[in-house]
Structure 1
Amino acid sequence: MQFIDLKAQYTALKPQIDAGIQRVLDHGQYIMGPEVRQLEERLAARTGVAHCVTVSSGTEALLISLMALGVGPGDEVITSPFTFAATAEVIVLVGARPVFVDIEPDSCNLDARLIEAAITPRTKAIMPVSLYGQVADMAEINAVAAKHGLPVIEDAAQSFGSRYQGRESCGLSTFGCTSFFPSKPLGCYGDGGALFTDDAALAQAAREIRVHGQSARYTHTRVGVGGRMDTLQCAVVLAKLERFDWELQRRREIGDRYGRLLAPLQAQGLGLLAVRPDRDCVWAQYTVFVPQRARVQAALQAAGVPTAIHYPKPAHHQGAYAAYAPVDACPASIAAAQRVMSLPMSADLSEADQDRVVAALADALAAL
């Protein structure tokens, strides 16, 4: 059983993907070829945002967003510690300080009620993470941000295609940033990402930053990075867009079915992720809370069921970021890191394999 079945997806889309790659090989514009603009236009239209800027990774999307906003040394950025390291990493890379605010214990997203108390005169931005494919409480976060005149950057690396109060992830704040890492709901065959904004000036800044700060060839208006998304990767994502709506629907259906099948196991200590009624989840990972995780994982591995942990340590328990918060800060994040476990999930997961996963998990819990 595959944790994420990318081979099945490729088989279903092989003619479109192969043709898209061949077109790039034929025209030879491997950097900033026509597929780059085509993808940006398609994604902007999909999210209802004026500007989409493709970049070399989801991490680069976050970094460029911070740079475009002028975040730098002496500034603070409020974010979640329960996320992949890239979220904190980009804040530190621009010379700013990450300020960690705890998560909601049942959704694992940033707890909007705790943000205002963390704002100081040095706060320059708020960066919530839409974890596991569900958007954080952006209305509340945006309200707090507006009250204090702060921009919001949605780290939507896992949530592209999800909806919040009828609107698309990445179209909910000053910047939305997503990733096209192969395992994401919309993935390429390497690294890639995109940022979204309705602000024309910020979009122009982002476009310049991604090409070493150039406003014209060899005219370096600002400090930038080498952050372009390859034309070949854009061609892959364009091909995958052909069945993306089907994939999103499948992810929602499989997530719902997991929820129904796993509900009885709550009596044995299993915890299910809460999905709020005003939004959906595209299940970039199908993550549950388990007791005695090491034993449960070992039992599932023995049964041929792969699992993963997203994430085993909150950021302030990582050596690189330990100086930014006390070790006992953000207790909900610490507790989640000790219990989360992700199960096999992809649009091509069969019901038979899903049943195997659930049966193996039930057996593992029963044996504790």
Structure 2
Amino acid sequence: MPPILMLDLAAQHAPLRAALDAALQQCLNESAFIQGPAVAKLAQELSEYLGGPHVVPCANGTDALQLALMSLRLPKGSEVLVPAFTYVATLEAAAVLGLTPVPVDVLPTTFGLDPQAVEAAITPRTAAIVAVHLFGQCADLESLRRIASHHGLALIEDNAQSLGATFTSSAGATWVAGTVGEVGTTSFFPSKNLGAMGDGGALFTQDSSRAELLRQLANHGQTRKYHHEHIGLNSRLDTLQAALLRVKLPHLAQWTTARQRIAAQYDAAFAGVEGLMPPARDPRSTHVYHQYTVQVTDTARRDALQQHLAANRVPSVVYYPVPVHQQPAYKYLGYQAGQFPVAERLCHTVLSLPIHPTLAPEQVACVSDAVKSFF
């Protein structure tokens, strides 16, 4: 049996090697390395995959969040509600714009924003909510959209980890993650479910005027060459990355199915294991399993499990070991330990196991056996 990896991009790319090489060669032949034809083609194809929103490619997922907030034209100091359990880029994008990120606690099961906590955090200075679709499934989009609409707030969706996930509303409508709020964002970081071979990102919106503004903001604020209507960023997706992503996009659905099959195998193996909590599912959301994240009782137990797995040559990762409000960079916000108890507890109890489309059933069984032998 080959070694078990958290992510095996070499194995995932191997069947696509001829097509990836051809895409690279075409880019070399065209030599349009910035804003080449592959960028617009990727935007169109990704729009079709997501049900028709406007798609604006950009340089990376963090820029996508920043551009989304820039498009709102918020006054300095405006408050942006963000999950207390998330990757730091969610706060970073607001902070660098002079906005005030306001952490909000999350649900202990699905890790998304707790709608009741969001309601409680709203002040006269609140301008936007950033919902993070973490680890592969949607946050409570229906509640968050209702809250945002009721209070006149913008809803931004950080969909870096859940591309292709859907949410079923109480009325039976199917919403595609990243296309419900004013702007959705994603990342093409290589480890993502649809990953580039370098950095990359994109924004989604149903509003054609906002899409045009986002295109301008991502290209130095230009309305046409050398005419700058806005202060913007240099945040363009390289043609080469777009070309490679076009090769991979048609395979995303089958890769998602493979991830779901692996998750189901883990679920069956872990059923009834006392002290181990498999990922909870919101029945309204599909799950594309960017991560398969379990919970144990406390830090000591979690760390001991991770060491046990390493001794059995099974990798695992803690996403995330420190809550964002306790990161040194964000101490200026003034939050203290204990203010976001769910997020703080999750940082002590979560552990992500290997999951990727090329993980073989016998490898999944090996991981499962190693986990169960600890309990």
| TM-score, scaled to structure 1 | 0.97
Matched letter for residue 13 of structure 1: L
Aligned to 1:171: 179
Pick the aligned partner of 2:314 from 302, 305, 308. Answer: 305
Pick the aligned partner of 2:294 from 282, 288, 309. Answer: 288
Aligned to 1:251: 259
Between the aligned partners of 2:145 and 2:111, the Cα distance in structure 1 is: 18
The answer to whether the aligner puts 1:185 opposite 2:193 as a matched pair is yes
Between the aligned partners of 2:158 and 2:283, the Cα distance in structure 1 is: 21
Matched letter for residue 163 of structure 1: T
Deviation at 1:2, TM superposition (A): 1.1
* Structure 1 stretches lacking a partner, 5+ long: none
Deviation at 1:242, TM superposition (A): 2.1
SS of match in other structure, 2:294: strand
Deviation at 1:167, TM superposition (A): 2.5
Aligned to 1:54: 57
Q: 1:64-96 deviations in whole A, cap 9, x for unaligned?
A: 000011134110000101111100001101101
Matched letter for residue 102 of structure 2: V
SS of match in other structure, 1:128: strand
Matched letter for residue 353 of structure 2: L
Q: 1:273-308 deviations in whole A, cap 9, x for unaligned?
A: 211111111111111012411111111111000110
Q: Residues 147-296 of structure 1: matches in 2 within 5 Å? A: 147-165=150-168, 166-265=174-273, 267=274, 269-291=275-297, 292-296=301-305
- Is the contact between residue 315 and residue 322 of structure 1 (CA under 8 Å) also seen in structure 2? no
Q: Residues 101-180 of structure 1: matches in 2 within 5 Å? A: 101-165=104-168, 166-180=174-188
Between the aligned partners of 1:168 and 1:18, the Cα distance in structure 2 is: 32
Deviation at 1:254, TM superposition (A): 1.2
Deviation at 1:264, TM superposition (A): 2.4
- Is the contact between residue 78 and residue 101 of structure 1 (CA under 8 Å) also seen in structure 2? yes
Deviation at 1:218, TM superposition (A): 0.9
Q: Describe the shift of the 1:256–1:349 C-alpha distance in structure 2 as closer, same or farther (beyond 3 A).
A: same
Between the aligned partners of 2:309 and 2:228, the Cα distance in structure 1 is: 54
- Is the contact between residue 79 and residue 101 of structure 2 (CA under 8 Å) also seen in structure 1? yes
SS of match in other structure, 1:126: strand
The answer to whether the aligner puts 1:25 opposite 2:35 as a matched pair is no
Between the aligned partners of 1:327 and 1:321, the Cα distance in structure 2 is: 13
Q: 1:130-170 deviations in whole A, cap 9, x for unaligned?
A: 00011100111000000011110001110001111122211
Matched letter for residue 216 of structure 1: R
Matched letter for residue 344 of structure 1: P
Between the aligned partners of 1:36 and 1:44, the Cα distance in structure 2 is: 12
Percent identity between the two aligned chains: 38
Aligned to 2:86: 83
Pick the aligned partner of 1:318 from 313, 321, 327. Answer: 327
Q: Which piece of structure 1 moves more, 9-18 or 323-332?
A: 323-332
Aligned to 1:70: 73
* Structure 2 stretches lacking a partner, 5+ long: 169-173
- Is the contact between residue 133 and residue 284 of structure 1 (CA under 8 Å) also seen in structure 2? yes
- Is the contact between residue 27 and residue 33 of structure 2 (CA under 8 Å) also seen in structure 1? yes
Matched letter for residue 218 of structure 2: R
> RMSD between aligned alpha carbons?
1.0
Q: 1:225-274 deviations in whole A, cap 9, x for unaligned?
A: 11101010011110001211111111111112211111222x1x111221
Aligned to 2:171: none
| TM-score, scaled to structure 2 | 0.95
SS of match in other structure, 1:36: helix
Aligned to 2:355: 345
Matched letter for residue 171 of structure 1: T
SS of match in other structure, 2:57: strand
Pick the aligned partner of 2:38 from 35, 39, 44. Answer: 35
Between the aligned partners of 1:115 and 1:134, the Cα distance in structure 2 is: 19
Between the aligned partners of 2:61 and 2:85, the Cα distance in structure 1 is: 17
Between the aligned partners of 1:170 and 1:46, the Cα distance in structure 2 is: 12
Between the aligned partners of 2:154 and 2:351, the Cα distance in structure 1 is: 33
Between the aligned partners of 2:166 and 2:247, the Cα distance in structure 1 is: 22
- Is the contact between residue 49 and residue 197 of structure 1 (CA under 8 Å) also seen in structure 2? no
Matched letter for residue 86 of structure 1: A
- Is the contact between residue 53 and residue 179 of structure 2 (CA under 8 Å) also seen in structure 1? no
Deviation at 1:338, TM superposition (A): 0.3
Matched letter for residue 355 of structure 1: A
Pick the aligned partner of 1:329 from 339, 342, 346. Answer: 339
Aligned residue pairs: how many? 363
Between the aligned partners of 1:187 and 1:72, the Cα distance in structure 2 is: 34
- Is the contact between residue 49 and residue 196 of structure 1 (CA under 8 Å) also seen in structure 2? no
Deviation at 1:329, TM superposition (A): 1.1
